[in-house]
Structure 1
């Protein structure tokens, strides 16, 4: 189990300030108990941002008083990337970055001159095919039909078709991601613990025995392995938000 709450509770204010500087918040006001930043959470241009993004040391939470409202540092980084329409890897660009801002575990070599998503370092040739994993990895999860999804009208047959599982220790619905050829390229979980939903988000990659099974979501269309023949036959494709 990842101690997300412990990581958040041990955030170091000075490290958070350094992170914000690398993200483009060159101006900040440090006060007893809180720091005020420009609202780069939803403003791609820092010059257009107002000084209304507050980071509170007692709760280790951000509050944007113009748009985004209250959010953990995890949700702040999601807002930051999405406002810039930037692809990101959850493990590399969110989890590890936040770990660098926390005293929960010492890591070194953080402060780059200008922050860049690792997606910016990929070469075009490397985007053609994602790494794949043996399907047997999923055997560590339980075959279970979450009542929350059944109540939403997601049938047992649909969950079987998309190989939905359940993690007892993580209390997550497990959602495997397959490429167009049916090869496993990533594993994501839908959190059921309310604290995780509120502070981290509903969906995130899953860790198994110390390895994160994350992948850039923009490089793979979820469910295409099941729908490709219909698309080829009908010549029509409808895109929805995955998962």
Structure 2
């Protein structure tokens, strides 16, 4: 593997999302600069060109450039960080010049068709046992309206090493494919820390959080309600609303779209108020296969960045009751 192959193997949006909270706008992702202090997002990431540009600092490039500036490290250290993220830290790293002969030979080799392997890793079934069930730490989410029963159902624990609440993320078959974490440090913004993070890089996220745990209720109701974040799923579960899931982002990706199409139930999008699902290409495709609805804040009860569950069960019931069919 050479540096260009390593860079090309990493989804720049998913990678930088570990450090910067990004919001999609017309196919481009924007967030606050990790290199300078600012209140208005001027940090741009483009998946198509596999690049980023920070308008406030003038820094731009690919994931390799980002890693060097973010960690303030040399090229060798940046390569090690990227290799670990890509899951190839044991692979031999070959300089580009030594790859020239191999590249030339590939041009004349007959292409072989083979099934593309999934990049999703599976964690051991007992991977959560190393974390703690700390009552004082779990109370942070209890204070936000999540019941102890729901914390237990979704296996929320505490990681003392990173000072985060952690929870497993299952695929549709119940395999643990990642571990999510929510920072508890109240000064996480000032320290430049990411509020939510994941133990492993995603590539293209191929799961819907809560789908495995709530499958029974989803099939019974023939409906799945989709939030952005995992915490919304836990809050709804605490209210007795169990047919839910979370995209873990503000948009629907192609793999998630196929999961929902195959599931064959009505899909109700309950994303944050600021998100316009009608601009989402994959949601537009999804409505060809299943009924798609979205919650409607008819009485303007939510703030711009609110999740439909943020103002309590009565407000949620109202926006759900006034949901509209996406035609």
TM-score, normalised on structure 2? Answer: 0.40
**How far 1:228 sits from its partner (Å)?**
1.6
Instruction: Name stretches of at least 5 consecutive residues in structure 2 with no aligned partner.
Output: 1-11, 13-22, 51-61, 79-85, 87-113, 231-327
**How far 1:233 sits from its partner (Å)?**
2.5
Q: After superposition, where does 1:168-179 map in structure 2 within 5 Å?
A: 168-179=160-171
**How far 1:217 sits from its partner (Å)?**
6.7
Q: After superposition, where does 1:62-73 map in structure 2 within 5 Å?
A: 62-63=37-38, 67-68=40-41
Which of 48, 60, 69 pairs up with 1:101?
69
Which of 190, 196, 206 pairs up with 1:203?
196
Give the equivalent residue in structure 1 for 2:45.
80
How far apart in 1 are the matches of 2:217 and 2:148?
Answer: 22
Three-state SS of the structure 1 residue aligned to 2:181 is strand
Give the equivalent residue in structure 1 for 2:285.
none
How far apart in 2 are the matches of 1:162 and 1:97?
Answer: 37
Distance verdict in 2 for CA 1:205–1:135, change over 3 Å: same
Aligned length: 159
1:227 matched to 2:192: no
Q: After superposition, where does 1:1-243 map in structure 2 within 5 Å?
A: 60-63=35-38, 67-68=40-41, 76=43, 80=45, 98-102=66-70, 104-108=72-76, 125-127=116-118, 130-145=120-135, 146-198=138-190, 199-206=192-199, 213-216=200-203, 218-243=205-230
**How far 1:175 sits from its partner (Å)?**
1.8
Three-state SS of the structure 2 residue aligned to 1:99 is helix
Three-state SS of the structure 1 residue aligned to 2:224 is coil
**How far 1:135 sits from its partner (Å)?**
2.4
Q: Is the 8 A contact 2:166 2:179 kept in 1?
A: yes
Distance verdict in 2 for CA 1:131–1:158, change over 3 Å: same
Distance verdict in 2 for CA 1:154–1:96, change over 3 Å: farther
Instruction: Name stretches of at least 5 consecutive residues in structure 1 with no aligned partner.
Output: 1-22, 24-40, 47-52, 70-75, 87-93, 111-117, 207-212
Larger Rg: 2
Q: Greater relative contact order (Cα 8 A, min sep 6): structure 1 or 2?
A: 1
Residue deviations 1:96-134 (CA, integer Å, cap 9, x gap)? 654322564322498xxxxxxx9xxxx99445x722110
Q: Is the 8 A contact 1:164 1:174 kept in 2?
A: yes
Distance verdict in 2 for CA 1:197–1:137, change over 3 Å: farther
Q: Is the 8 A contact 1:132 1:185 kept in 2?
A: yes
Distance verdict in 2 for CA 1:220–1:43, change over 3 Å: closer
**How far 1:224 sits from its partner (Å)?**
0.7
TM-score, normalised on structure 1? Answer: 0.52
Q: Is the 8 A contact 1:191 1:202 kept in 2?
A: yes
Three-state SS of the structure 2 residue aligned to 1:196 is coil
